[in-house]
Structure 1
Amino acid sequence: MISVQETIEKYQSAIVQIATKSGTGTGFYLQDYDLIVTNNHVVKGNRFVTVKSKTMQKRLAQVLFADEKYDLAFLQPPINMKDLPPIKMGDYISLKDGDMVIAIGHPYGLNYTATQGVVSRVERVQQGLKYIQIDAAINPGNSGGPLVDEDGEVIGVNTFIIKGGDNLGFALPVSYLREALDQYMPIYGEVSIRCPSCSTMVTEQNLDAGKYCPNCGTKIEFPKKPEDEDAPVSGIAKTIEDILEKLGYSKELSRTGNNRWEVEEGTAKIRISYNPDNYFIICDAFLCRLPKQGIKEVYQYLLTENYLSRGKFFSLHGDTIVLSSLIYDLDMTTESGESMFRRLFRKADYYDNVLANKYHCQPILEEQ
């Protein structure tokens, strides 16, 4: 038996945060298979998703395997991750009600959160499948993360919760994961979907008539290839992504969720969000933190710049100085938005350096 702290330290380097244009989730790397495991609903409809971890900057990863019935998916690691500490799969059969477990993931975007609990029911049948019912708190963003036992081994994949329930979480047993891995490994590297009707491994090469499972005839739809996608996003979101690409940023790597993006300009981190309900695009550039001394001088500088600036303003988020800009969605075109974003990004980097060098403001604390 290993301690909770040892378990968390062991898993942190292998836990991956996953983002698509519609949301976020969690995955974990299995060294023996050289695959990242997650839930299918986290990556559904995507050929590529963005991933990042403590040992890897944000990158694109290809979805190699999708299984709608068991809600499993495998991603190809975008870099060599074989040097990470190995994570082993445990023995689901020996699991008992009341056993201690730990759920690890990124709930609500809070990186590397671990919650401890117990197994409420080893076998809880839902929609014809067995699940491990746990009372460890899991929330949106935990999906696809590992459920770990007292020996530090994976015994399940955190999959869903019952809304309104008090810590009613469910994890897919590791036995189902083993079956999927064993079935996929002979065609490792190929993009495949496991047929939800007969569990046949279907690739684009063996599709019957280009649409159907070759074994049972169930219609199978592969996600569109990036070059075949007509419009992955539309409206204002597409305009924002067009602007980011014109400014030299990857739209895929910039996405942090539905109608949310994040980029870095020099030392400044800029978050962009769009809420269709209030019609505004909000750009927040998070700069440095207030200094320990000389705060009065910093306030005077920020107020003066607020008076002189047009379309931008300073504010404080706690002790963090934020440079913001708002634009009404109907007023923004690709051309006007590009000009506004460029000015904001450059000013953010400029102000961050001035505040740090002249006023001795402190860098923002970042999770390592």
Structure 2
Amino acid sequence: MRAINGWAGTVSTRTGKLLHQAWLVLVALMALGAIGRVHAESIDPSKVANINAATFEVVIPKAVDDPLTYEKPLPLQLLPYQERTDKYFSIGTAFALGNNRYVTAGHVLLVAVGDLTGPPALRDASGHVYAIDKIEKFSLQQDFVVFSLKDQPGTTALATNTKPALNSVVYAVGNALGTGVVIRDGLYTSDTPEEENGRWKWMRFSAAASPGNSGGPLLDQDGKVIGVVLMKSANENLNYALPISEVLNASDNTAVMDKQLSYQLDVLDYDQNASFKAQFPLPASYADFSANYLKLQNSFNEQQLKALLQQQSADLFPNGAGSNRILHDSPQLSFFPTLIAHTGSGQWSYAGRELNRVPLSGNGYIASGVVGHNFLIHLRRPDDMKADAFYDDPKQMMDLVLKTGFWYRQVGPEKIKITSLGEPTTKDDYTDTWQRHWKVFVWPEPYINAQIVVFALPVPDGYAIMMRLNPAMTTHDSLIDMKALTTFFNVDYGGSLAQWKAFLADDTLLPQSLKNTRIDIDYGKRFSYDSDTIAFNYPASLQAITPDNMLAVGFGYFPNNGKVSLQANYIQLRLNVTDPDRISVRRHVAPSADLDDNFKEAWGKLLHKQHPYDGVAYNDGDEMDIATVIDPSSSGTPAELYTAFYGTQGTHKPDEMKAKLDSLTQGFKIKSH
């Protein structure tokens, strides 16, 4: 079942559905508008005035100030008059029970938790808005809330009927589609036990209900409340209500959470299920209620994430046999970020690929893709942007991302590109499992009550980015999810030698795997690389050394003092982005016993220096290549080996190629691991 107003996902499911929720938020809010009142002809006309007076829209204020910048002025004239002039968004329906008690769906109230523009309120038919005073009852599992107002509307309340008859005529009353309160008729068809353990029964009815109806009253033929309209079935043309008796008989002055929830992380193919059980005392102001609820929900989600990771800790990457293909595979370079995800076959593999690339000025570009609920982005910094200013300016970074048309705002039939989000409201730093240093930013999008969460990893040529759009209420969930996902975030470091020089100059940007590595670049003379594991250098006679040379450092996962650490396993240098002339050094690990023959055959070639690792030049299309295995530093069967490679365009004498390779391997040093 799903909530009728389309918002329940923000509280009944985990952030595994964040992007879908955000889309629902966007669609729902764009559809909201007029508050005109219509009613079905079949109800007794003498009762309509009282029903209308006792039924309210639940509204939240629109943002007064918009921090976003657009490609052109928003064509608000394309919106219906009511929508463009209304100062509020309609999010659901509420009704009066008398004695300053009002009822709506719990998920309607929770829509506004963490809201960016202001607290929810009630609005009557004349447009008067009433502020909520105290939250008096709340049930997450039964999905209702009872509250009072600071000022009384002075209207007659709805009477209740706690024993309605099956197959009787009923009326669903609510703010259908945000266009005003509508009364629609149908039949009370049946009762069905709630899904977890049958603690109560839902009422099923055939009266039509639309997004926005959530929280409205279900009435009997006499206009008495028999239930609270909440959900509709995805598989049948029936709607669901909570019997009003459950609201009246619920514990006073208590907020109760007792609901089975599922926690999911994008890289795992299994979920963590548990009951969210908690209580706190009422009455409370809306602000205090929101703070208490968020505190408990955030704590529960943190516990769920911890339990999910602990449950499979022995098999989580890089542990367990399912990780061996990645740990022992021949290294490849990937400058577009990927996530290491668990598959149904029990293996870990790279997920994600570049789906779109948009060029920027100065050789910059934005490459993007999607994995799960995460946008993955490689931002190459334009050459005319200074590195120190670039890495310290999140607004500039996001403005570049927005140049791709990544975000837009729908206004009537038009899509208006967002060109700037302004400054982020939150700036933070995070160091992941692999000792990489992330920059964490949060930007608001008040017009859809959403936030953009960005984890940006500095790399020599710009940023590797993981990004989400989520309802404001679930920003904390995105933050803890994305922190966990950094462990599974894979990217190699690349850029021109000029970019590397600027990157290496700022120690705060470097991952731990590069902090003990010395890269010396002497243009026109010599390049040298010296790390904890290897050292090598070569002169400009082997390959010209200029600021435009491209240096790539690929990373692998290696045992280190009983733990697995991120270490360089592939160093490659090219003359430029397009030139095939290249030098490379690779680190290879002996395959584990469970890996297939392809791994073992490749390792055998290395051990015995078979082609192409025999130090003999060979033609490969329109270029010549030569490679060799560096002799291990110790005797016995090695656990890992290094290869050196040189490739260049055209045809060359074998002796010339051998001399080039020798200039690379001469003085090559393998250090203790």
TM-score, scaled relative to structure 2: 0.29
The structure-2 alpha-carbon separation of the partners of 1:327 and 1:138, relative to structure 1 and needing over 3 Å to count, comes to closer
Q: Which residue of 2 aligns with 1:19?
A: 59
- Work out whether residues 117 and 134 of structure 1, in 8 Å CA contact, stay in contact via their aligned partners in 2: yes
Match of 2:101 among 23, 35, 38: 35
Q: What does 1:52-131 align with in structure 2 at a 5 Å threshold?
A: 52-55=123-126, 57-62=128-133, 64=135, 65-81=137-153, 83-92=154-163, 95-121=164-190, 123-127=191-195, 128=198, 129-131=200-202
User: Quick one: distance in 2 between partners of 1:205 and 1:134?
Assistant: 32
SS across alignment from 2:172: strand
Q: Deviations over 1:148-179 (max 9, x none)?
A: 1112110111111012522x011111110111
SS across alignment from 1:9: helix
Q: Which amino acid aligns with 1:31?
A: G
Rg comparison, structure with higher value = 2
1:62 offset after TM fit, Å? 4.7
User: Quick one: distance in 1 between partners of 2:171 and 2:145?
Assistant: 21
User: Quick one: distance in 2 between partners of 1:60 and 1:90?
Assistant: 28
The structure-2 alpha-carbon separation of the partners of 1:140 and 1:277, relative to structure 1 and needing over 3 Å to count, comes to farther
Q: Which amino acid aligns with 2:139?
A: D
The structure-2 alpha-carbon separation of the partners of 1:28 and 1:278, relative to structure 1 and needing over 3 Å to count, comes to farther
- Work out whether residues 203 and 227 of structure 2, in 8 Å CA contact, stay in contact via their aligned partners in 1: yes
User: Quick one: distance in 2 between partners of 1:36 and 1:102?
Assistant: 19
Q: What does 1:1-368 align with in structure 2 at a 5 Å threshold?
A: 3-20=43-60, 24-32=91-99, 34-44=100-110, 46=112, 48-55=119-126, 57-62=128-133, 64=135, 65-81=137-153, 83-92=154-163, 95-121=164-190, 123-127=191-195, 128=198, 129-166=200-237, 168-180=238-250, 183-184=251-252, 187=253, 192-196=254-258, 202-203=280-281, 221-223=292-294, 279-281=407-409, 328-331=417-420, 333=422
User: Quick one: distance in 1 between partners of 2:216 and 2:97?
Assistant: 12
SS across alignment from 1:330: strand
1:279 offset after TM fit, Å? 3.3
Q: Deviations over 1:112-161 (max 9, x none)?
A: 1011011111x221322201111101121111100111121101111110
User: Quick one: distance in 1 between partners of 2:155 and 2:283?
Assistant: 34
Q: Which residue of 1 aligns with 2:335?
A: none
User: Quick one: distance in 2 between partners of 1:279 and 1:4?
Assistant: 49
Q: Which amino acid aligns with 2:417?
A: Y
User: Quick one: distance in 1 between partners of 2:194 and 2:133?
Assistant: 30
Structure 2, unpaired ranges of 5+: 1-41, 63-88, 114-118, 260-275, 285-290, 296-403, 424-673
SS across alignment from 2:419: helix
Q: Deviations over 1:299-329 (max 9, x none)?
A: xxxxxxxxxxxxxxxxxx9xxxxxxx98531
Q: Which amino acid aligns with 2:183?
A: A
User: Quick one: distance in 2 between partners of 1:277 and 1:173?
Assistant: 47
Q: Which amino acid aligns with 1:193?
A: A
1:203 offset after TM fit, Å? 1.7
Q: Which amino acid aligns with 1:74?
A: V
1:57 offset after TM fit, Å? 2.0
Q: Which amino acid aligns with 1:202?
A: F
Between the aligned residues of both structures, percent identity stands at: 20
- Work out whether residues 49 and 63 of structure 1, in 8 Å CA contact, stay in contact via their aligned partners in 2: no
User: Quick one: distance in 2 between partners of 1:135 and 1:17?
Assistant: 22
Q: Which amino acid aligns with 1:68?
A: L
SS across alignment from 2:258: coil
- Work out whether residues 18 and 26 of structure 1, in 8 Å CA contact, stay in contact via their aligned partners in 2: yes
Q: Which amino acid aligns with 2:169?
A: M
User: Quick one: distance in 1 between partners of 2:211 and 2:141?
Assistant: 20
Q: Deviations over 1:232-273 (max 9, x none)?
A: xxxxxxxxxxxxxxxxxxxxxxxxxxxxxxxxxxxxxxxxxx
SS across alignment from 2:46: helix
Q: Which amino acid aligns with 1:108?
A: L
1:193 offset after TM fit, Å? 1.1
1:39 offset after TM fit, Å? 0.8
- Work out whether residues 46 and 63 of structure 1, in 8 Å CA contact, stay in contact via their aligned partners in 2: no
Structure 1, unpaired ranges of 5+: 207-219, 225-275, 285-316, 318-324, 335-368
1:202 offset after TM fit, Å? 2.5
Whose relative contact order is higher, 1 or 2, with alpha carbons under 8 Å and at least 6 apart? 1
The structure-2 alpha-carbon separation of the partners of 1:113 and 1:278, relative to structure 1 and needing over 3 Å to count, comes to farther
The structure-2 alpha-carbon separation of the partners of 1:3 and 1:108, relative to structure 1 and needing over 3 Å to count, comes to closer
- The RMSD of aligned alpha carbons is 3.6
- Work out whether residues 17 and 24 of structure 1, in 8 Å CA contact, stay in contact via their aligned partners in 2: yes
Q: Which residue of 2 aligns with 1:292?
A: none
